[in-house]
Amino acid sequence: MRRVGFIGLGNMGGPMCGHLVAAGYDVTAFDVNPDAVSRLVDAGARAARSVADCAAGVEALITMLPAPPQVEAVWLGDGGAVAALEPGSVAIDMSTSSTAVGARVVAAASERGVDVLDAPVAGQSIGAKAGTLAIYVGGDEAVFERVRPLLEVMGDPARIFHLGPNGAGYTVKLLLNLTWFIQAVATGEVLTMGVRAGVPLDKLHGALVGSPANSNFLERDVRMVLDDGDYDEAFPMRLVTKDLGLAVDLAREVGVPVELTALVEQIHRRARTLYGDDAGEISAVRLYEDLSGVTLRLGET
């Protein structure tokens, strides 16, 4: 499998596509932003004129798109990818999307003899640039094994998981994002409360990291805020609230009551309202800083 199409060349997709080019794959690239396409052409990709052009003649087509409406439009809309793919090719959506849209893509693709995988990723833009993403795959295991070499170029081979049938990748990605966003709210509450109570931030943070309550967010991710005041604008709040909305929708579909999830979604929507659509994904911590009058910065007195 050498001929690959890639659609969606933003903060995540651009570096991911670049790794495939650097690994020697024959890559055709498309994005609505011509500058993003130009950067990949400079790296060695061929520019596609449209979605259908990007899908024509490839053995695998990868998409990395902002939300379910874009996923559905690219795969199933007028001039969409499914209609342009050849039988025997593989459609791989690496976006964080919904199982409902994914099911419609699978149904349309199966009529053309095209295999489908959902393969969303985790690891932020830094992982996309480093080629160390975790990848969560749903779909036929034999198809997964066919495309594993492609995935290993973009992700950490030890963190590429085949999770079950189509939809399993989307589900796990929504759940891990939900857990992360819950931890962002919890960390914002705990740190501001502790500092307001008089505990120095460095001692409070160190004690929590060394405790049974430690988490990857508490130990590593929140350090962007604590060290540099960086709320990570590479993943904006409009996508945070999109993912949380999808998690609430999933809970409704499977009949699970999720009071905590609903509250966490509303807290992030409040942060988005205050700081804007493009505010960084850790803006929930900023919300608690502002509500409590505390600035969480290590090294500041």
Taking only the tens place, the pLDDT of each residue in 15-58 is 999 999 999 999 999 999 999 999 999 999 999 999 999 999 99
- Widest CA span in the chain: 65
pLDDT of residue 125: 87
The label of the residue with tokens 């950067």 reads: 39
Which residues, other chains included, contact 62 with Cβ-Cβ below 8 Å and sequence gap of 6+?
4, 5, 6, 7, 16, 17, 92, 93, 94, 150
Domain assignments of the chain as residue spans, ordered by start: 3-166, 172-292
Q: pTM, whole model, 2 decimals?
A: 0.94
pLDDT tens, position by position, 124-168: 888 999 999 999 999 999 999 999 999 999 999 999 999 999 999
Instruction: Report the CATH number of the 3-166 domain.
Output: 3.40.50.720
Active-site residue list: 173
Query: Where is average pLDDT lowest: 4-8, 45-49, 163-167, 233-237?
Result: 233-237
Distance CA 22, CA 273 (A): 40
Q: Is the pLDDT of residue 240 over 90?
A: yes
CA 283 vs. chain centroid, Å, equals 17
206-210 average pLDDT score: 98
Mean pLDDT of the chain: 97
Q: Do strands 133-138 and 121-122 pair parallel, antiparallel, or not at all (unpaired)?
A: antiparallel
pLDDT at 254 over 90: yes
Q: What is the mean pLDDT of residues 81-110?
A: 97
| pLDDT over 90, % of the chain | 97
- Exposure string over 72-107, b if 16+ CB within 10 A, otherwise e: bbbbbeeebbbbbbeeebbbbbbbbbbbebbeebbe
Identify the band that residue 170 occupies on the pLDDT scale cut at 50, 70 and 90. Answer: very high
Gap between the Cα atoms of 243 and 224, Å rounded: 21
pLDDT of 59 above 70: yes
pLDDT at 301 over 70: no
Confidence tier at 234 by pLDDT (50, 70, 90): confident
Q: How far apart are CA 184 and CA 179, in angstroms?
A: 9
For residue 68, what are the CA distances in angstroms to 76, 97, 192, 210? 12, 5, 35, 39
Distance of CA 218 to the CA centre of its chain: 20
Q: Which CATH architecture has domain 172-292?
A: Orthogonal Bundle (1.10)
pLDDT, position 299: 84
Query: Does residue 106 have a pLDDT over 90?
Result: yes
